[in-house]
Structure 1
């Protein structure tokens, strides 16, 4: 697609970023008869969509409310999520041939299990609605100009300056650099005098170092259903031991709420009481060794690893009250002090971003800079694992389009 942009009065907006939010914004603007230009630094749009869910794309969650989002203003996402609901997402994709199938915890995937089908919906609609897409285009800067904004770009080894009355910054966050992630949206917000809340990797594996590292390494590959919590939140899903520490859905979830220096706690048998289970087994077979019994509840490898902490060489009948307390505390309140995270390149999203106090919750327009909009991941709205971040991206793209 090409266009002569020396006079851009025929474009209602330039959208910076061809991800979930930017693509939605272009399509929804097209439905309203508005013309947009998407500028994307990668060689194709939808890079994060294509790798999400292992290439299957968990594109929404049936249980979405504002409560599954982390933000300094917990109510900020309410307006956008009410203007574009989960039902709207489902209906939109069904209209263009994407049937959803629910997996665990309300997660919705295409029945084809192909993320590229999601991206194709948008690229086809952009073509049909005459929305322009320029890939391999780096945006250098955005500035105010007469009647709107100027956008300095580098494309095909030459620099150009484009003009538009409105600008949408949907350039994503800091994860993942190989997919084109950058701090562009945050830099532009600061340039225009908008506050940015502190960012950190989220939905990211946690690392263990020091004297405990080897203990975790020996369990690499072991996965189990657990409850993981801190003093702010709790999640029940699988955890995965790795050679660097801990991962798996429950760990990714808690990572968004973890701060350096804090502990997290793991209930290795959620919904059960280990002391009651041992008491019942002791009555039936008191001579059974604790190690053998634990091997019936966990993998043998994990049970053997617990020998560092529990009297596994005793039989059940000989366990003292103190032994039972130690077992109970370890199984139901396994204490972990992570050293850190695997960083932005292993994170699915980030917390923090453009301060929500700087934006209208109804339009996502910057209060101080009329015509400048921020959507998607660069805003201080971070969803849980399981399709919530896509729902925010679709919703924020829709809301912005209504106000271009």
Structure 2
């Protein structure tokens, strides 16, 4: 045996697994397709790395089995993540909605931490490796890979597949986990981009494009869920935290509802303004809540130049509908190039929720993004990755 386990993928799950295995005195070798470990960690949060969320529970995750993640989150909690990083000098600072970022460090500090710990523990990270086969033997697995044009082999009792999902191919995203699973008869829940911007085409395209760069705090919803955060208009459609969140629950052909003023009632604001100054223009009133450019764009749907006192009943209804029931039917999404995570993946029914070991392939473990567990925006997917790494390390 070359190691107790071979870990495929040096992302958040793989790195945490290697370190936790090291604490237990287990030797692992990590094989990474890219030229460096933690590539996706390095670009997360604009290079600042939103490494967990104070409010993370199994409730913020999409999965065919909504209870599957409970076991992992019981074994490795948000508090465990916070203590782990604080132990090595990375203290968290909450930004918004429970999002925790390093207080005075960045994403590189997190990758450097894992790389340093792996080096101290003798856990080897081999980059620029291309896995060509995993061969099952009587009591072990042989991992075959190409490196520097040469075929190499490693043998271990356990194999951990933590290769992530399909988003951001330029960062080395690979479908290895999905291909390996299919080859071995495992069920795959249909995959799709998640936490991804949405596109608008057709006759509405120009209206959105003219607002490119404008951000508005909204409540965005569909029949399944709602979020209150900012949307960002772009030259091809909609982005921003609220849109990324709802995208994980959106399906092609569906309409999304946007409340452009979730904390006020536009009808009540107009009635109040009528009492004090009925000559106030509707545009003047709206400019108190929106950037002028956005107010001007709303002129397509409402009489901005009219005084509030002279608005008719039908005009009031149109204003209320536009502000509180703005409907959007996206043409599609920006795909894996712009998606932060992948929805779907290895069917959780194929894995033990307690150990993440594959039921059909004893000794093989799947963790992180390649599993059908997808978190919200805001550090949730990192918490899932850290938890997976810890849980798997206990079993290898």
Q: Is the Cα contact below 8 Å between 1:207 and 1:245 reproduced in 2?
A: yes
Distance in 2, Cα, partners of 1:141 & 1:332: 55
Equivalent residue, structure 2, for 1:317? 309
Equivalent residue, structure 1, for 2:107? 115
Equivalent residue, structure 1, for 2:85? 93
Matched, 1:51 2:47: no
Q: Is the Cα contact below 8 Å between 2:2 and 2:155 reproduced in 1?
A: no
Distance in 2, Cα, partners of 1:358 & 1:196: 9
Q: Secondary structure at the match of 2:342?
A: strand
Distance in 2, Cα, partners of 1:46 & 1:192: 28
Equivalent residue, structure 2, for 1:74? 66
Q: Which runs of 5+ in 1 are unaligned?
A: 1-8
Equivalent residue, structure 2, for 1:347? 339
Q: Deviations over 1:107-147 (max 9, x none)?
A: 11101241011111111110111111101111122121232
Deviates more, 1:157-166 or 1:190-199: 157-166
Deviates more, 1:181-190 or 1:304-313: 304-313
Equivalent residue, structure 2, for 1:295? 287
Distance in 1, Cα, partners of 2:174 & 2:206: 34
Distance in 1, Cα, partners of 2:264 & 2:202: 32
Q: Which runs of 5+ in 2 are unaligned?
A: none
Distance in 2, Cα, partners of 1:334 & 1:347: 25
Equivalent residue, structure 2, for 1:263? 255
Question: 1:368 deviation in Å?
Answer: 1.0
Matched, 1:232 2:253: no
Equivalent residue, structure 2, for 1:326? 318
Alignment of 1:272-287 (within 5 A): 272-287=264-279
Question: 1:221 deviation in Å?
Answer: 0.5
Question: 1:267 deviation in Å?
Answer: 0.7
Question: Which consecutive aligned stretches of 4+ in structure 1 deviate over 4 angstroms post-superposition?
Answer: none
Q: Is the Cα contact below 8 Å between 2:209 and 2:236 reproduced in 1?
A: yes
Alignment of 1:184-223 (within 5 A): 184-223=176-215
Question: 1:292 deviation in Å?
Answer: 2.1
Q: Secondary structure at the match of 1:178?
A: helix
Q: 2:298 aligns with which of 297, 306, 315?
A: 306
Q: Secondary structure at the match of 2:97?
A: helix
Q: 1:15 aligns with which of 7, 10, 18?
A: 7
TM-score, reference length from structure 2:
0.99
Question: 1:195 deviation in Å?
Answer: 0.4
Q: Is the Cα contact below 8 Å between 1:57 and 1:113 reproduced in 2?
A: no
Q: Deviations over 1:19-47 (max 9, x none)?
A: 00000010100100100000001111000
Q: Deviations over 1:48-67 (max 9, x none)?
A: 10000000000000001000
Deviates more, 1:288-297 or 1:200-209: 288-297
Matched, 1:370 2:366: no
Distance in 1, Cα, partners of 2:371 & 2:224: 22
Change (3 A) 1:122 1:101: same
Equivalent residue, structure 1, for 2:350? 358
Distance in 1, Cα, partners of 2:252 & 2:136: 39
Distance in 2, Cα, partners of 1:18 & 1:169: 10
Q: Is the Cα contact below 8 Å between 1:55 and 1:113 reproduced in 2?
A: no
Equivalent residue, structure 2, for 1:183? 175
Distance in 2, Cα, partners of 1:97 & 1:10: 33
Deviates more, 1:275-284 or 1:140-149: 140-149
Distance in 2, Cα, partners of 1:69 & 1:386: 12
Q: Secondary structure at the match of 2:72?
A: helix
Distance in 2, Cα, partners of 1:291 & 1:101: 39
Question: 1:159 deviation in Å?
Answer: 1.1
Distance in 2, Cα, partners of 1:207 & 1:325: 28
* C-alpha RMSD over aligned residues: 0.8
Q: Secondary structure at the match of 2:344?
A: strand
Q: Is the Cα contact below 8 Å between 2:2 and 2:154 reproduced in 1?
A: no
Q: Is the Cα contact below 8 Å between 1:63 and 1:106 reproduced in 2?
A: yes
